[in-house]
Amino acid sequence: MIDFINFHLIPGLVLGSIYALGAIGVTLTFGILRFANFAHGEIMTLGAYLTLTMMWLTGWHPLILLPVTMVILSLIVIGMDQAFFKPFRNSPAVTVVIASFGLMLMIRSVTQFSWGAQLQAFVPGIQRPNVFFDALRISPKHILIVISAMVLMLVVHWVLAHTRIGKAMRAMSDSPELARLTGINTELVIKATWILGACMAAAAGVFLAYDSHVSTMMGFQILLPTFAAAIVGGIGRPYGAMAGGLLIGVTEELSSYAWLGDGPLLEPGYKAGVSFAIMIGVLIWRPSGLFRGRVF
Amino acid sequence: MMKTFKQLALASTMLAFVGTAAIADEIKVGSVAGVTGPIAELVVPIVAGRQMAADQINAAGGLLNGDTMTMVLADSQCDPKAGVDAGTKVVNVEQVVAIVGASCSGATNGMVQSVTIPAGVVALSDSATAPSITDLDDNDLVFRVAASDAYQGAAIAQLAWDQGYRTLAMTYANDDYNAGLAGVFEAAFKGLGGTITSNQMHEPNKASYRSELSTLSGNGAEGLAIFAYYGGSGIAIMRNALEAGLFEKFLAADGMFDQSVIDQIGADVLRDNIMITQAASDYDDPSYVAFAGAFEATGHSPQAPYAAHGYDAAFLIALAIEKAGSTDRAAISAALREVAGPPGVVIRPGEWAKAKAAIAAGQDVNYEGAVGNNDFDGNGDVTGLFSVNVVGADGKWTGNLIR
Amino acid sequence: MDQLYGYSLYGLSLLTFGGIYAMLALGLNIQLGFTGLFNAGIAGFFVVGAYVSAILSTAPSERHIGGFDWPIPFSLVAAMVVSALIGWAVARICMRLRADYLAIATLGIAEILRLIFKNETDLTNGARGVSYIPKPYESLAQPWNHVMMTVVVLAIVAVLYFMLERARKSPWGRVMAAIRENEDSARAAGKNVDRLRVQAFVVGSAMMGLGGGMMAHHLKFIDPNAADPTTATFLVFVMLIVGGSGNNKGAIVGALLMWTIWSATEIFTSMLPGDLAIRSAYIRVFLIGLMLQIMLQKFPQGLFPEKRLETGSSG
């Protein structure tokens, strides 16, 4: 039983927190700009590499550098929006999604060109876990990741619930026509959406790199689980994205627990398929997701 | 600097005159490698090894009548589609006389079956290790200086047994290289009387392997045998296992052989706890010393996986061209066996002038490369040497040849 | 002379690869171009077709299931049928989804399919792949083996093209266009929209399976890496968008053109010195992405804009 908590539940929570942060950006873009942004994974990767570069320059802890990364990444993402997404504000979703494919390839090749394909680590060496009650093993970095993620999610909640711009974002997600009629500055709301999404993507990228390592494909590798988290939670529902992320992360790790007999329930080779299967199931039976998001 | 400038000038001239005949005093050899794709990080030193061979040869008189040996790079991406396309380009557009590569077994399989065997071009791979390449129906056109996994898998099993391991857990990344190696290892270790408590494949490039490791760790395994590329999943698995306290002892093969494993996990943790076999060379052998000194001067680690193989492959092709006395593709493939094995004047890395003189005098040559004697068997395979590597006092890998 | 001969052989290779990609692009054109179905799982149908045709046509082998020695035309038909069946199942499940949901769902399904081929080692030899796949006319002497392979591929593309052009101009094609332009009015006109969409999806999937099968025969080897989403899905999208979504001629020209650009750029980048040649491999991908952006923004209709038919039924 303690193995279950140590090796399946806790890693699932850590992974889930990372998915959740990524999914917040996906779900906001999906809800407000109305397209699935395939470049979101590469934005997370870029966040990790920016932090890594600053660590080389300053030698500071990645979590201290995270706010700086968020600012830089937000500026980059707003630039991308102006260059590659703004021309398509009134185009069909298919066109914008294909544009985001193109952007994904471009960011990835720039990352590979600038930083090379070599694997990097934030902090070399390994961290032994703290042992509680003689059995419960939790690594300090996992505590840090989960707590930081929770704090960031609270910030997102506060922005959406209590600031003018946050309320405008929610209004636009619920009904763009109505929002426009009531005089909301849509371009401003779109900017705010990108900034919030970019900040959460930076955090997701940095936490993922902090937990494992930095590689040029890391963002793309968690893109589909992130989409799955956004859909499972309900599109345009940041709280849903958080819940969806945790659900997907925990389920992925639990799928290979020995629920029946000795062997893993699902061959670990298929672990990557778990999130897709959940997502497809939700799309079919409850397309609005757990939190009753929008269905387009 | 001057050289770079000349190459640039050459490149721009070629860009301007595509369609005109190749420059007269240039002999092109294809250099096919998975530049992008899953093993991108491994490929850089391999390509550098091939290039160093060509540079040395050009500095020491060049091929045949002073012709320049040019390595033409093409990207096989570890994808058979790209392998076939890359092979077609170097064979037909660049008119290469022979090919070094491709890197991954899958891309190599596609390239040789679809392009180079029908075209009659010899392909000498420096890093494709899949057993399936051994029995290709290849008209003696497919060779490799990398030993088949069938040898390395057995070598690591024997090593584990000799070190006193009797029960092991194992996991392998599901790709063409590691799956093949793991299969051989499992059979060989069981054949010695060992027990594999659990054998699991895993999908590379996942963020966490903790749940897989927890399943693997039961049943009293003394250590974990990892078959993975260090970048794809190897380091992540080791880190997860150590951090969770599930395994302390590791065995691995050359996909894990890289300084970054020590740099990222920490030398103190790994010292006395890890053994990595590597397709390697006798580090005291004069051939290896000659290669290593020169390669280090180019800014690469001579121990990088398959870099020495890349060098040997390119050097062997050059010897075959020299021996054939022409750029005829059939003559080159026929000459490859002769220059690789005895009898003949022993040629070591860097000894191009000596080889050229010997061949000009009508003598046989026998290349004793940085990775071993490189004598091809009937299938165009080599048996290869393996070293066992542990973490040394200086925090670097130190290897000893398995005798 | 040798050089010219070499260029000709490379030209044949470009036509063969480009032609196979044209099958994928034509399949996507039925789904995306005609009907507006955003299938981002091309790689999935590609890999199914490739493995089905490969395993049915190879000689018996211990490495994977069977080896059934079927003649290539039969194995290709089987590849189309199996891909179509999977396409039908996917369509039945996912057809109600809006464009981007469908894209994400199909992308996920393609990944699951690739995982199955990778993990079911007993059936497919897993990551180690299937070797010795027969190739049409491979026993002929060079260059005739290459010539005949190219002829076979282009003949299939030509047949597909004429069939699709007929379909597009038929009442069926008009209804498809009507559904894409205005689903509600098509529904109001009494058309069974969902059923017609499923039909388009199934036909497109079958063509992708055919493309996958042809690719397996051309490569003579197939492994799960060949279903990499960058070259098996995204590249096909770029081809169709550049050529002109909704136009069959555009799909074919786009495939041939983009494959040529994708492949031939390397001839130049490989002339760069040392490290730059290695890094320039990434620049190729960057340029493909940039080209897609420029096409989308400046020439959204592609090289061959869709020829609108008089769609009388939708009013």
Distance (Å, rounded) from C-alpha A286 to C-alpha A237?
Answer: 15
Distance CA A285, CA A231 (A): 12
Which of C29, C104, C293, C298 is most worth mutating to test chain A (most A CB atoms within 10 A of its CB)? C104
User: Which residues have C-beta within 8 Å of that of residue B257, sequence separation ≥ 6?
Assistant: B230, B276, B278, B303, B305, B389, B397
pLDDT at C292: 85
Calculate how close chain C gets to B115, using CA atoms only, in Å. 8
A119/B235 touch (CB, cutoff 8 Å), yes or no = yes
Rounded distance, CA C199 to CA C209, Å? Answer: 15
Which residues from C are below 8 Å from A86, CB to CB?
none
Q: What confidence score (pLDDT) does residue C122 get?
A: 83
- In whole angstroms, what is the distance from residue B318 CA to residue C99 CA? 56
Structural domain harbouring C141: 2-228
Using the Cβ of A280 and the Cβ atoms of chain C, whether some distance falls under 8 Å is answered with: yes
* Structure tokens belonging to residue B261: 């494993």
CA atoms of A90 and A186, how far apart (whole Å): 13
Phi and psi dihedrals of B93, rounded to 5? Answer: -80, -50
Q: Is C212 part of a structural domain of the chain? A: yes
Determine the 3-state secondary structure of A289 from DSSP.
coil
- Are B270 and B262 spatial neighbours (Cβ–Cβ below 8 Å)? yes
C interface mutation test: which of B1, B35, B76, B96 has the most C CBs within 10 A? B35
Residue A291 domain-assigned (yes or no): no
Burial B365-395 (b: 16+ CB within 10 A, else e): bbbbbbbbbbebeebbbbebbbbbbebeeee
Amino acid letter, residue A48: A
Place A259 in a pLDDT band, splitting at 50, 70 and 90: low
Q: A157 at the B interface (CB within 8 A)?
A: no
Rounded Cα distance, B330 and B173, in Å: 38
Is A7 near chain B, with CB under 8 Å?
Answer: yes
Closest C-alpha to C184, from C50, C43, C315: C315
Chain A neighbors of C290, CB-CB under 8 A: 102, 106
Flag whether C159 is in a domain: yes
What does the pLDDT look like over B322-365, one tens digit per residue?
Answer: 999 888 888 998 899 888 888 888 999 999 999 999 999 988 89
Which is more confidently placed, C98 or C215? C215
Q: Residue B67's beta-bridge partner residues? A: B63
Contact B294, B308 (CB under 8 A): no
Smallest Cβ–Cβ distance between C222 and the set B36, B80, B104 belongs to B80
Q: What is the pLDDT of residues C240-291, one digit of tens each?
A: 988 998 899 999 999 999 999 888 888 887 777 767 777 777 888 888 888 8
Summarize the confidence of residues C143-161 as an average pLDDT: 94
Residue carrying structure tokens 């002038």: B353
> Is C98 an interface residue toward A (CB < 8 Å)?
yes
DSSP string, chain C: -HHHHHHHHHHHHHHHHHHHHHHHHHHHIIIIIIT------HHHHHHHHHHHHHHHHSPP-SSSS------HHHHHHHHHHHHHHHHHHHHHHHTTS-HHHHHHHHHHHHHHHHHHHHH-HHHH-GGG-B-----TTTTSPTTHHHHHHHHHHHHHHHHHHHHHHHHHHSHHHHHHHHHHH-HHHHHHTT--HHHHHHHHHHHHHHHHHHHHHHHHHHHS-B-GGGG-HIIIIIHHHHHHHHH-TT-HHHHHHHHHHHHHHHHHHHHHHTTS-HHHHHHHHHHHHHHHHHHHHHHHHH-TT-SS-------GGG-
Structure tokens at B30: 């294809």
Domain assignment of residue C130, yes or no: yes
Give A71-100 pLDDT, tens digit per residue. Answer: 999 999 999 999 999 988 888 877 888 899
Q: If you search the block for the tokens 């650009």, which residue do you land on?
A: C261
| Overall number of domains in chain C | 1
The total number of structural domains in chain A stands at 1
Residue with tokens 């699709």: C164
Residue range B215-220: mean pLDDT, rounded: 78
Q: What is the reported pLDDT for B24?
A: 47
DSSP C13-55: HHHHHHHHHHHHHHHHIIIIIIT------HHHHHHHHHHHHHH
What confidence score (pLDDT) does residue C88 get?
95
Whether A140 maps to a domain, the answer reads yes
Asked, for residue A188, whether it belongs to a domain, the answer is yes
Residues of A with Cβ-Cβ distance to B266 under 8 angstroms: 124-126
Task: Give domain status of residue C239, yes or no.
Answer: no
Residue B127 near residue B146, CB atoms below 8 Å: yes
Residue B213 has pLDDT above 70, yes or no: yes
Q: Is A129 on the interface with B (CB under 8 A)?
A: yes
Nearest by CB to B207, which of A124, A212, A257? A212
**Inter-chain CB proximity B79 and C228 less than 8 Å:** yes
C123-148 pLDDT per residue, tens: 888 888 898 899 998 888 878 889 99
CATH assignment at residue A227: 1.10.3470
In a domain, A71, yes or no: yes
Neighbours of B29 (CB within 10 A): 27
ipTM, two decimals:
0.90
Residues of chain A with C-beta less than 8 angstroms from the C-beta of C283: 109, 113
How near does any CA of chain C get to the CA of B13, in Å?
A: 10
Interchain contact, B212 vs A268, CB within 8 Å: yes
Give the pLDDT of residue B5: 46
Contact between A126 and B265 using a beta-carbon 8 Å cutoff: yes
- Distance, in angstroms, between B283 CA and closest chain C CA? 27
Instruction: Please report the domains of chain B, with CATH numbers, ordered by start residue.
Output: 26-148+287-367 (3.40.50.2300), 150-280+387-401 (3.40.50.2300)
Mutate to test the interface with C, among B88, B91, B104 (most CBs of C within 10 A): B88
Residue A171 lies in a domain: yes
Nearest to B45 by CA among B291, B287, B340: B291
Task: State percent of chain A over pLDDT 70.
Answer: 94
Partners of residue C104 in chain A, C-beta under 8 Å: 36, 224, 227, 231, 279
Residue A44 has pLDDT above 90, yes or no: yes
| Yes or no, beta carbons of C219 and B114 under 8 Å apart | yes
Axis-axis angle for helices A223-233, A10-32 (nearest 10): 70
Domain presence at residue A28: yes
Instruction: Tell me which residue in C38, C101, C289 faces A283 most closely, judged by beta carbons.
Output: C101
Nearest alpha-carbon partner for C23 in C194, C135, C157, C134? C157
Q: Is the pLDDT of residue B12 over 50?
A: no
Please determine, for residue B282, whether its predicted confidence score (pLDDT) is greater than 80: no
The pLDDT tens digits for B122-164 are 999 888 888 778 777 777 888 888 888 878 888 889 889 988 8
Domain for residue C305, yes or no?
A: no
Asked whether residue C264 is domain-assigned, the answer is no
User: What value does the mean pLDDT take over residues B200-228?
Assistant: 84
State which residues form the domain around A54: 2-95+136-285
CA distance C31 to B396: 56
Vertex B50 angle, CA B46 and B51, to 5°: 115
Cβ within 8 Å of residue B360, ≥6 positions away: none
Give the Cβ contact number of residue B132 at 10 Å.
23
**pLDDT beyond 60 at B11:** no
Interface of C with B in 201-230 (CB under 8 A): 215, 218-223, 225-226, 228
Per the prediction, chain B carries an average pLDDT of 84
Percent of chain C with pLDDT over 70: 97
pLDDT of residue B13: 46
CA distance A195 to chain B (A): 25
Quote the pLDDT of residue A264.
Answer: 67
Q: Is residue B266 less than 8 Å (CB to CB) from chain A? A: yes
Look at residue B31 in the predicted model and tell me its pLDDT.
92
